[in-house]
A and B are shown apart, each in its own frame.
Chain A
Amino acid sequence: MNNYIPVIGLEIHVELSTKSKMFCGCPADWFGKAPNSQTCPVCLGLPGALPVANKQAIKWTIKIAQALECTVPNISKFDRKHYFYPDLSKSFQLSQYDEPIGQHGSFSVHFDSIENKKKFRIRRVHLEEDAGKLIHDGKVSLVDYNRSGVPLVEIVTEPDFHDSSDVKRFLEELQTLIRSLGVSDVNMEEGSMRLEPNISVARRGGEDREIGGGGGEEEKLGGGVELPNYKVEVKNINSFKFVKNAIDYEVTRHIEILEKGETPVQETRGYVEATGKTISQRSKEEAHDYRYFPEPDIPQLEFSEEEKNPPLPELPTAQLEKYVNEHSIKFEDAFIITHDPLLINYFEQLLVILIRQPAEKDLGVVTPAKLASMLVNKRISSQDSPEVSIQKASTATQQVKTDEVALSQSITKVVQENEKAVSDYKSGKETVIMFLVGKVMKEMNGQADPSLVKERLTTALKK
């Protein structure tokens, strides 16, 4: 294994949640609808029907491109990508070839700490249309064009991944990012986020060469890595875990082949959930010539500076860094909050109150870090109004001011009055301690920090 380095790039399809389809007025919400009920001459590809581009989808694609730090060109366009398949109503897919909306970007992902951050290059972000769906029913195959023409954003990374765990983390972060933009529900089960890793394995020991495509920061792999001259694309993956499994399976398979001195075949493979393996679907010999050319029915897209730079919400990664660096929130808590759309929204409301009202109300020692910790540990709930939660947190933190003399007296009293429990504890029944903590808290009328009580009680019982 040490002689080999996996080289992995990703193609991610994200279905936009626009009201209407990409090139016609049909509803884009196709999932679960009666077959062919969400169609018109345009998405059915009837003779004479013409596409008109959905402006909202273009705006949202620019948002995604900007969130991924891509360059958005002044001029973009749609191209026809030709192939024959029954679910493709026009026998070409409207896509973008050489002027994608997003070009040469990057996306940084935090791992287990604020310092451990990796940057992966984005090659392109482009807008295209989805195809219909084939339904195989016994001897017949049926076509449902409800999904035909639904806007689809394709995000392509550079082959910057060398580890399946990095891929999984990247995808989780990407999902969070896109969700935060409010442009897609990125739902894996309904297929609104689809994943295709391109996998190859490089052999160490060759001449020292750069890995990865053009643009961005070129990365060098140490030890003299020979760039692979093949790649395998895996399709039909609908969970991050399966992506990891598929990559791991492929990497092992490629190494076995390379060990024999052979080169894996360049091909498209499908992931089989049941076995965790991949199977061959289409080899290079059957590869298509898509005969791209500019779509004559749609005028080229021209973007103003304003259109190229739409306002973006604060992105999850920036929020995570702000929480940790500015608010001294624990990384783990900040991570959980920034990855849950409900929690982050609620926590931002808490922060507003906390920052606005410190002088008027005595909130004790309520800090953003404390609030974050309490929210994550469910000691305050997003079900309550933010004001209620702040009050709860305030009460809880004020309890920290424990009267040490009173505590000492209370412990002595409780130990004396609960001989049975104390002896049970001393004979090894350690869970009894919580019963005793409760008794002390009662003596203290609740005005004590339970953890401090537990600590002192334990010490007292050891005597």
Chain B
Amino acid sequence: MGNKTYIASDNLITSLGFSTEENICSIGQGKSGVEVCTIPELQHLMPLCSSSVDKTRLAKEFSEIGDTKEYTTLEQLFILSIAKALASTSVDTTSEHTLFIISTTKGNIDLLVNNPFEPDRIHLWKLAEIITSHFKNPNQAVIVSNACISGALAVMLAKQMLCIGKYDTVIVSGGDLITEFVVSGFVSFKAISPNPCKPFDESRDGLSLGEGCGTIVLTSDASIAKESYGELIEVAGGATSNDANHISGPSRTGEELGIAIKKSIKQAGISPEQIHYISAHGTATSFNDEMEAKAFTLCELQNTPVNSLKGYFGHTLGAAGAIELVVSLQSMKRNTLFLSPGYESCGTTDPLNIITQTQLATIDNVLKTASGFGGCNVAITLSKK
């Protein structure tokens, strides 16, 4: 039933670089973008680590496509990432059959303190309007703001939109910045580690925050997808669920993330043993990683190779799902399992098969999961066709 969803292109702008290639090259060499935080406005919140985008380079590269004075930092990040993702495609952004889905948790929240733009600029819908008008897109963008699952959820929504058939191309872009607003909040929760985060490790003691943007161009046309992406990869399944337990702490059982995982895999028409790799949420907080390990075990995925990419990028919030899905797609294209940074020894009650060495492997089906405040969970299944 309905149209299918294939990947046509992607882009990453993170601490590790301004293209997918640069990012994957760094990851392949085991480089991490997470380091001791040197952002002047955050020094009163030390000790903490962060993963920051090079703002000088952002302004320089953006100035080639727009006036930096007319756009906020986050708008520049989104527009540059989308422009780079579109460069290798023939997508017509002016078409009424092209839709933008924008994912962010806090958008231009930095304007709360100092806003040189019009007052509405702080609104998420305004951020999306700025982006779509840059690309002269005639449609109202879909804006998702669903805590830390936003980016992966946006890809699931793209699948639904393409299936309905009104659009033939959907551009998903997820972005968020490191701000004092967000960092102070996580500090107040005592959720931040003084050291680079160590997902799933015995000594993990909290997350590291990051910033960046991930863009994925999706199409219902398999031949266009294959030609521009080199490999035909389908977003074959996607589901969300809610813990119905606590607004700021994950489920104690992992059953609810399990619901989303089972639905997503079933929708893809495969069984758990056909999943070759899991890109986990793995924030490196004690509760999150424990919950995820339980959920994977409940779904009979405890032996499947799994990593958390938070050790490379930090937790990029509304961008995380999009950024980590791009890396998952690249893992599939390159048949490579990337090591999970910061992991040394098992730190969850249910042991997982954490990837400790970057290695070649056949990867036909991937599961991507994320969980967030408000008890939300998402699971996406990607399949080679």
Does chain A bind chain B? no
- Which A residues contact B (CB, under 8 angstroms)? none
